[in-house]
Structure 1
């Protein structure tokens, strides 16, 4: 298996890479998931995890800023940024990846992909996901299968919705409501138990209480 050594920088404060860049060795692709235009959620998560594990996430989320071109550290930053762009592009099908090769930085490439495929702010897509959540019920499936489908829909919803720092608590409550509404009738006592508590427990606690 081939390997490629990329000179990168650790966490930063201020506008540029740290003065102690680490040596990060890649073994193969960032992820085995190949982006095909339809699997943005799974692909983006896998890439974020891979870049975070290599201390390169700052190049796509904006935390690692480009130093001035006259700065002695600019050459290292530029080389690493190109390396991140190449690594991301290698996880995309060629017919899609070529559309983003004109990006100036890894950050620009990432935002271009997000804008094109994440459906963020797309009201029609949001309606479609919320309608799927409303119709999602346990039926003949196991509790795990039912919860997994809801979890996937919630994740899609999170990607499509615009950031709302003040909506976190409301979103958690909605998950509990979604989950309880779709349960089979024999779990009516569980619904009563949950709502009898002084404060609504998080969705994870509700799910594991039923397991």
Structure 2
């Protein structure tokens, strides 16, 4: 019957405050955040996802019992703590300088670091009304950081004027004043460049006369003739000369005759310097080449040649070898390689036993891990081989020469030897082992067609 249609199904209206409510702007292609989760940026990615869901009133979907357990597992697995990243960001902030960047680029770089640091900071809610003073203090700190990194030659005077203000100006006003100074300087520079002539010339007007003779009174008269003279601004030599005719200067070619006196010197030492200090035999052969007798003093030596051409003597081969296991080990660190390995390592520590030539390699994310692996190696030698490391030889790297490591060597009776500064040849056994390891790794990667991360 008419009117019975739809009685069996009742539609339910979902309120707009419900998480199940779908707005016209909601779609499956909507991006909650621009940050892509890669496993290392959980602390930066998670707050943006929660803010995006909260803005769409969908936060309840991840706050349920099952969903909250999943989020807690993600946090426990990928949240590595904020301290290393905060330390890195504050280091970047301290080293941030304008350099060759424009003011806009420099400020954007600072703003990116400030915003990321703000995401990591956990400021508690203020209950005493001091939030305004805290925000003001942070703003002043940003102003000082912005002014400290500016180019001193270009914006030193602007920085001095801003620092003389009491109280110190706000960050937006400081940025606006520096940006205005940059634009003013660029406009002034463009005007100066446009006013420069295409060639280094300048015209000089001159009035000269032509002598004419009058038959009536027998007198000679001088008729003034305007001329234009073009000279080079540097050498002041005449380039073109123009004569005025009917309001136009007609240029005439100007022939300037110059005479330069050239004398051939017979001083052999002078020619030795002119030719770039060739060897003595080449200097003697020059006289035969130009067929000109030069005066050479074979007993005289060139001090510049001795200082410029001296080389270090080659190092003699050392075939000595330690007479027992781990009596002497050679240690060195290789890196930093720009691309991290699969274990996120940029360095590796090589340890070579002088007696057996056995090699131990430890992959490291930072050079500071070398001291930790050095202690692990010494403990492994004592446990597995019932031996003690007696002498460690390395270069002058500070990683193995810190105060704690020196105490460790003294407590365990280990002697630590270092090579001379900038003399890697004295640590040649582990240096050659580095080359052998890298060559073998490259060959395996090329033959296996593996990406560079391997």
Q: Same fold (TM over 0.5)?
A: yes
1:103 to 53, 59, 67: 67
2:109 to 146, 149, 152: 149
Which residue does 1:182 correspond to in 2?
A: 149
Distance 1:197 1:22, change over 3 A: farther
Distance 1:22 1:158 in 2: 32
- Report if the CA contact (8 A) 1:119-1:160 is conserved: no
Task: Please say which of residues 24-33 and 136-145 is displaced more in the overlay.
Answer: 24-33
Which ranges in structure 2 are unaligned for 5 or more consecutive residues?
1-13, 180-454
Which TM-score applies when normalising by structure 1? 0.56
Question: Are the aligned partners of 1:118 and 1:160 in contact in 2 as well (CA < 8 Å)?
Answer: no
Which structure dedicates a bigger proportion of its chain to strand? 2
**Aligned position for 1:170:** 137
Gaps of 5+ in 1: 1-6, 11-16, 60-80, 87-100
Tell me how far 1:141 sits from its aligned partner. Answer: 0.9
Pairing 1:133–2:93 present: yes
Tell me whether 1:31 sits opposite 2:39 in the alignment: no
Q: Deviation at 1:9?
A: 4.9
Contact 1:8/1:24, CA 8 A, preserved across alignment: no
Higher relative contact order (CA 8 A, sep 6+): 1
How many pairs are equivalent? Answer: 154
Q: CA deviation at 1:169?
A: 2.0
145-154 vs 124-133, greater mean Cα deviation: 124-133
Deviation (angstroms), 1:147: 0.9
What is the Cα-based RMSD across aligned positions, in Å? 3.8
Paired with 1:205 and 1:115, the residues of 2 have a C-alpha distance of 44
Q: Deviations over 1:189-211 (max 9, x none)?
A: 12122122222222222112222
Structure 1 residues 30, 206: closer, same or farther in 2, change over 3 A? same
Q: What do residues 119-174 of structure 1 show as CA deviations (whole Å, max 9, x unaligned)? A: 44x2x332221111010000011111111111111112112222155432222111
Report the Cα distance in structure 1 between the residues aligned to 2:50 and 2:71, rounded to whole angstroms.
Answer: 14
TM-score (norm 2): 0.29
Q: 1:9 to 1:140 in 2, by over 3 A?
A: same
2:288 equivalent in structure 1? none
